[in-house]
Amino acid sequence: MTLCETDAAAIAAAAQALRRGALVAFPTETVYGLGADAHDGRAVAALFAAKARPRFNPLIVHVPDSAAVAQIGVLPAVGRRLAAAFWPGPLTLIIARGERCAIADLATAGLATVAVRVPAHPIAHALLTAFGGPVVAPSANRSGHVSPTTAAHVAADLGASVAAILDGGPTPIGVESTVVDVSAGEPVVLRLGAVTRSALARVLGHPLAIGGATGRPASPGMAARHYAPAAPLRLNAAAVEPGEALLAFGTPLPHAGPMVNLSARADPVEAAANLYAALRALERSGAPRIAAMPIPDEGLGEAINDRLRRAAAAP
């Protein structure tokens, strides 16, 4: 994707808004992010307030390239290997906070570690380059709600709080970045996401542990209930019950009410791209409940199932 004249002007204006402490939403290859100047504690506080996000849940710092990570902390050898393989792209690395790191304490929830990512989306890259500093960006939704994959989703959740929404159309991947903690010893996956576990294992030569199993705390943000539509969600449905809308995968179950098919050809990559828009559409359909068909737990299916389990968790 190349940026046209108006896009360049919009990006310059958005960078200027970040400089004055305002919030700017922008597309990444995963989901839309809600950006703030990572060095500006007041801007970061406004970001937490806009999302109604618990302050113990730290943010991801976005930078335009791996060289910019040097201002934040040091990538250990295993982090450099992962960065070389997946950046720019949908991988977030947790590293130890460097001594000269000027990221606002609120952004890291006071932790000694910081989450960093180099997004691949051209609009995100252009904004980070124009701004010239690190930008914190959680997904641009109300805390706990379904993540946004279009500019309209951002406007629906946060419209009044953002100075600008850079509209890059639907985000290509549709689920969040994979979060890998490389801050101490063996790398640990803290959040399943767009980079599959098999892709990580191919690069490192062995499978990675999943957070929690090693005694290290999982991501503070991995609450049991998250990514949730307003209507209750029932997983692994073998039949659709009266009053239920259907979230289908492959050949739809017989049903009477509203239906969105994540992928008629049962492709997990297509299903990930459609997941959050589908949940929002079924929420808007007014159906009192949603039944989801099973999705094989392979490739991106793992991240999709992780999100569906959290979306279905009891409030």
Rule CB under 6 A: which residues touch ligand TXA? 28, 30-31, 33, 57-60, 90, 92, 94, 108, 111, 113-115, 117, 137-139, 176-177, 179, 190-191, 219-222
Do residues 114 and 94 lie in contact, with contact meaning Cβ atoms separated by under 8 Å?
yes
Do residues 141 and 153 lie in contact, with contact meaning Cβ atoms separated by under 8 Å?
yes
Which C-beta is closer to ligand TXA: that of 101 or that of 262? 101
Looking at residue 253, the DSSP 8-state letter turns out to be P
Q: What does the angle CA 175 – CA 57 – CA 49 come to, to the nearest 5 degrees?
A: 95
- Spatial separation of the C-alpha atoms in residues 152 and 17, rounded to whole Å: 20
In the list Mg ion, ligand TXA, none, the entry touching 190 (Cβ below 5 to 8 angstroms by class) is ligand TXA
Tell me the C-alpha to C-alpha distance, in Å, between residue 253 and each of 258, 301, 313.
Answer: 12, 19, 23
In the list ligand TXA, Mg ion, none, the entry touching 203 (Cβ below 5 to 8 angstroms by class) is none
Do residues 50 and 161 lie in contact, with contact meaning Cβ atoms separated by under 8 Å?
yes
Binding site for Mg ion (CB under 5 A): 139
Q: In what order do the strands lie in the sheet with 233-234?
A: 233-234, 289-292, 244-248, 259-261
Least separation in angstroms between residue 227's CB and Mg ion is: 8
In the list Mg ion, ligand TXA, none, the entry touching 31 (Cβ below 5 to 8 angstroms by class) is ligand TXA
Paired with 33 in beta bridges are 26, 139
Least separation in angstroms between residue 107's CB and ligand TXA is: 8
Which C-beta is closer to ligand TXA: that of 88 or that of 257? 88
Least separation in angstroms between residue 133's CB and Mg ion is: 22
In the list ligand TXA, Mg ion, none, the entry touching 177 (Cβ below 5 to 8 angstroms by class) is ligand TXA
Least separation in angstroms between residue 259's CB and ligand TXA is: 28
The phi and psi torsions of 244 (rounded to 5 degrees) equal: -90, 140
Of 256, 211, 226, 224, give the one whose Cα is nearest residue 145: 226
Which C-beta is closer to Mg ion: that of 157 or that of 244? 157
Least separation in angstroms between residue 137's CB and ligand TXA is: 5
Least separation in angstroms between residue 183's CB and ligand TXA is: 8
